[in-house]
Amino acid sequence: MSQNKTLRNDSRRTFLQMSVAAAAASAFRIVNEPLLAAAAIDRERKQFPPGAVVINANENPLGPCDAARAAVVSMAPQGGRYSYWLTDELVDTFAQQQGLKREYIRAFPGSSEPLHFSVLAFTSPSRSYATADPGYESGMHAAKISGARVVNVPLTKFYAHDIRAMLAAAPDAGLFYVCTPNNPTGTLTPHADIEQLVAKKPNGSVVLVDEAYIHFSDGVTALDLVKADQDVIVLRTFSKIYGMAGLRCGFAIARPDLLAKLENCGGWSALPITAVAAATASLKHEHLVSERKLLNTTVRQNTCPRKPTFSWSIPSAPLKKSSTPWPRRMSSSAASGPSGRPTRASPSAPKRKWMRSSPPSTPS
């Protein structure tokens, strides 16, 4: 077979694989940041210009650290094996670092799956999905599948989740989604407010705390609430500060009975061992988080004082204040923002009052 023919066959096979993957993704509606970003690009039929600083999917341009890259390379030859014990080592490493029991931790290829599985497991036509507005929209797509009412509650004037308004607006909630630091505002919801939400939430509901960006902030983790056996699921991802969005690794951390409910929605599967090895190496890198956090803070400080050329306000972060009193405006609609359209920032989105936050590009 000629080389061209081999390439043609390979491309066809790749195309078929991609079509199958795309069909499967749309059947299960795992809609996450990269898919939303890709959809925005397709809509405009635009390509990124060479050298563009791409922030639309909140990736980390630094990529995996050197130790993680080396781990990927050395693991690749063993790719013929599932090697589940490598995932055990990853979980044990995280458990030890965080003072958690290993059975409270499940590893996934990223945090989008456990986010969606949580929504599917805990919401239904009679148990609503309560989220912030503006907020990370991914869970709303899963709520469409479970047939849940989506309750969008505006952030407080300090850009924290308005816990009291969320409780008031969704007394039937099956799941309260708290993203802190929040995407797209980059602002924190105080730990005390999350504790209050957990204490006052309706029976049988869970609080899903998405800590995808926590390493960039001085925010307090909600892992203590998991350790205290509360109805709390915490999500962590290696896609952001660890720069592994394309490698795919993340955790759901919760009481084992809550994790078992997620299992009903998608089961567990073997993870890519290259991603697992890279994640373990990243966790074992003593200074990685502090170095990257410092870099991010420095770039933010150098960027934000400049006079903005747009009329949006930039929320100051981190926020230490507790959330403000209610009532506040709130909307209740399936997978929609205040305008009734999906709240996805894209260059074409008109009259938006907010913008997404992102890890910085490497400073030149």
Contact 233, 206 (CB under 8 A): yes
| Residue 33 lies near ligand PLP (rule: CB under 6 A) | yes
- The single residue among 87, 118, 152, 237 that binds ligand PLP, judged by CB under 6 A, is 237
- As to burial, measured by CB atoms within 10 angstroms (0-12 exposed, 13-18 middle, 19+ buried), residue 143 is buried
Continuous H helices in 216-315: 223-227, 256-266, 273-284, 288-303
The stretch among 67-75, 78-86, 111-119, 347-355 that binds ligand PLP (CB under 6 A) is 111-119
Number of residues that bind ligand PLP (CB under 6 A): 16
Per-residue b or e along 226-256, where b marks 16 or more CB atoms closer than 10 Å to that residue's CB? bbeebbbbbbbbbbbbbbbbebbbbbbbbbe
| Residue 183 lies near ligand PLP (rule: CB under 6 A) | yes
Contact 91, 276 (CB under 8 A): no
Contact 219, 186 (CB under 8 A): no
| Residue 136 lies near ligand PLP (rule: CB under 6 A) | yes
- The single residue among 134, 250, 337, 360 that binds ligand PLP, judged by CB under 6 A, is 250
| Residue 110 lies near ligand PLP (rule: CB under 6 A) | yes
User: Measured from the CB atom, is 111 or 280 closer to ligand PLP?
Assistant: 111
- The single residue among 35, 56, 58, 71 that binds ligand PLP, judged by CB under 6 A, is 58
| Residue 32 lies near ligand PLP (rule: CB under 6 A) | yes
| Residue 185 lies near ligand PLP (rule: CB under 6 A) | no
The full DSSP string for 18-49 is HHHHHHHHHHHT---HHHHHHHHHHHHT--PP
User: Measured from the CB atom, is 90 or 245 closer to ligand PLP?
Assistant: 245
- The single residue among 239, 274, 282, 358 that binds ligand PLP, judged by CB under 6 A, is 239
| Residue 212 lies near ligand PLP (rule: CB under 6 A) | yes
The stretch among 68-76, 104-112, 170-178, 286-294 that binds ligand PLP (CB under 6 A) is 104-112
Distance of alpha carbon 125 from alpha carbon 336, whole angstroms: 17
Please say whether the dihedral angle defined by the alpha carbons of residues 120, 125, 128 and 132, taken in this order, is positive or negative: positive
The stretch among 76-84, 88-96, 109-117, 266-274 that binds ligand PLP (CB under 6 A) is 109-117
Task: From 300, 277, 84, select the one nearest 181 (Cα to Cα).
Answer: 300
- The single residue among 62, 151, 155, 245 that binds ligand PLP, judged by CB under 6 A, is 245
**Footprint on this chain of ligand PLP (rule: CB under 6 A):** 32-33, 58, 110-112, 115, 136, 179, 183, 210, 212, 237, 239, 245, 250
